[in-house]
Amino acid sequence: MNKLSLSSVRAYYQAGGTVRELIALCREQIKRASPNPIWIHCLSEEELEPYIERLDGHARESLPLWGVPFAIKDNIDLAGVPTTAACPAFSYQPEDSATVVQRLIDAGAVPLGKTNLDQFATGLNGTRSPYGAVKNAFDAKYISGGSSSGSAVAVALDMVCFALGTDTAGSGRVPAAFNNLVGLKPSLGLVSTYGVVPACRSLDCVTIFANDLETASEVFSVMEGFDAQDPYSKPNVDTNVLREQGVRCGPITIGVIKAEQLEFFGDSGYEQAYSAALSELTKDSELQFVEIDFQPFLEAASLLYSGPWVAERTIACATPLQAYPEKMHPVVRDIVAGGAGFTAQDVFSAQYRLLALKRQCDHILAAVDALLTPTAGSLFTQSQLQDEPVLHNTQLGHYTNYMNLLDYAGLAIPAGFTEQGLPFGLTLVGPRCSDRALISIARRLSTVERADHKAVSDSRYLDVLVCGAHMQGLPLNWQLIERGGKFIRSVKTQATYRLLALPGEGVKRPALVYDAASGVSIGAEIWRLPIASVGSFLRDIPAPLGLGSVFVEDGRRVTGFIAAEGAVDEESRDVSEFGDWRTYLRSLSS
């Protein structure tokens, strides 16, 4: 097999391979890399057997992840296996698996074990563990990124098909960038954190590492779902479900950070890799890049460790801090102990400031289809990190620390290599519940991930074709503007429509009627409405008009005002010869 992915694993089984044979290959790969402390606990053959035996009673097609090997960050529970959070003194053995792990097992996935991490998920570098610092999959001199270090490297070295991490400050994205992986960080609450050792409970989420976007996407569809046991669990929205996912079509506006606000911390290799990645993307003429002000995002990010959210880490580590502080990693201990000094006033003051910053950041995101940033500004060596553990860790979170505070979705994607052969990555950012939209945009940005997917538009909005009184400057245009509508462009329909002037008093209105035999091309406008406003807009549309599918001259199908031919009054006048409604109106006054 090439890189482990859902497609390669399924092809292996289709060719006659067995689960036991594949697991044996994965275990051999784990043994070969054993000097690198990737794993805290690998399941023995005896521990693995119940998971494999269970699959014997199911056809491959009956379970979406049948026989797929995966790894679990060791702050996430797997029944019967110790959870350590990289602190042996903290270890406990759960009776039940975390909700997300159980969903994966129920879908046929096979857990191979628990992976190393920055202790108590505090760090973005992968060096803060008593089990050892996990080394980068491409060059052992460099860090792997944390805190989900072991999970990322296990995937990068083909020990498993995918792995679970967690992400509070960037731990599901930074390790992905440093090991040439996809790192999917869902919107908060879409994936249950029940059975996960908290770092900052209100900000934590479970993430996915995979070699390709398709694997990450399919695994996400199994993991997501409301969990009543998790008080932070939230239901998804209908615009963010799997059927809304595809390849983003048409023009896309991508926000990029102003050049003067970019930070690479002296890493010329990463700076050049970023420029090269953007240059490659500009080959798509329908991608428009606009510079955004990153300062409010940075200020929000600063609140994560300098603000009272550190107190959540203090709460999570209360027992270790009180009972065995000497067993904690000294840098981790100092960070989490620092949360004890915040007051209630500090908490509310920080929340007020965060809400003000979120208002600014939301406004910036609303003007683009996605924000695109470097995932990290620099890849440090192990020795650099040891010399400056706090400074460099802070720099690693420069492009990531704001995301969960602002309740955004993130998707880290590989974006080439430096001249030294080190992986570089970009991150797509969107508002809450834009997870499927980011996947669709990522497919558009990649020539590899596009095949066999439907074309989709932005699910947050509905593009509506209007051809009469709702057009710019005409009497009903206010109905679009009042609902947050935005003019997109003028268009012409395909030459298969007739334009009829409806009779009646008040505002003059047309009807667009499909007529393949004698239709003409009709001028119109496309307006973009927030999806939440579409219902009230439909409510105000009088008979015989309605919304349906209209084909425009470039062959695309959009939602627009139409009327069924039999529903139009006989007194309606055919004004198709004028080509558009404005020209017809001008003829009335001439």
Residue 7 is among the residues annotated as catalytic for this protein? no
User: 78: which 2 tokens?
Assistant: 């797997």
Say if CB 6 and CB 161 are below 8 A apart: yes
Is residue 541 very low, low, confident or very high in pLDDT (cuts 50, 70, 90)? confident
How many other C-beta atoms are found inside a 10 Å radius of the C-beta of residue 517?
5
Active-site pick, 5, 97, 129, 171: 171
- pLDDT more than 70, % of the chain: 98
* Per-residue model confidence (pLDDT) at position 2: 72
Bridge partners for 290 per DSSP: 255
- Checking if the pLDDT of 475 tops 70, the result is yes
- Checking if the pLDDT of 135 tops 90, the result is yes
Backbone φ and ψ of 538, nearest 5°: -60, -40
Is residue 467 very low, low, confident or very high in pLDDT (cuts 50, 70, 90)? very high
Say if CB 173 and CB 427 are below 8 A apart: yes
Say if CB 160 and CB 104 are below 8 A apart: no
Provide the 8-state DSSP code for 263. Answer: -
* Per-residue model confidence (pLDDT) at position 410: 98
- Checking if the pLDDT of 457 tops 70, the result is yes
How many other C-beta atoms are found inside a 10 Å radius of the C-beta of residue 268?
11
Q: How far apart are CA 393 and CA 395, in angstroms?
A: 5
What does pTM read for this prediction? 0.90
Label the pairing between strands 69-73 and 110-115.
parallel
* Per-residue model confidence (pLDDT) at position 460: 80
Q: How far apart are CA 21 and CA 67, in angstroms?
A: 11
Is residue 543 very low, low, confident or very high in pLDDT (cuts 50, 70, 90)? confident
Bridge partners for 547 per DSSP: 561
Q: How far apart are CA 260 and CA 257, in angstroms?
A: 8
Residue 279 is among the residues annotated as catalytic for this protein? no
* Per-residue model confidence (pLDDT) at position 363: 97
| Residue ranges of domains in the chain, CATH in brackets | 6-449 (3.90.1300.10), 461-589 (3.10.490.10)
* Per-residue model confidence (pLDDT) at position 451: 64
Helices and strands (DSSP H and E) totals, the chain = 19, 21
246 Cα distance to chain centroid: 14
pLDDT in tens, 237-271: 988 998 889 999 888 999 999 999 999 999 999 99
Active-site pick, 144, 147, 148, 440: 147
Residue 44 is among the residues annotated as catalytic for this protein? no
pLDDT in tens, 33-43: 999 999 999 99
* Per-residue model confidence (pLDDT) at position 129: 98
Active-site pick, 5, 73, 149, 576: 73
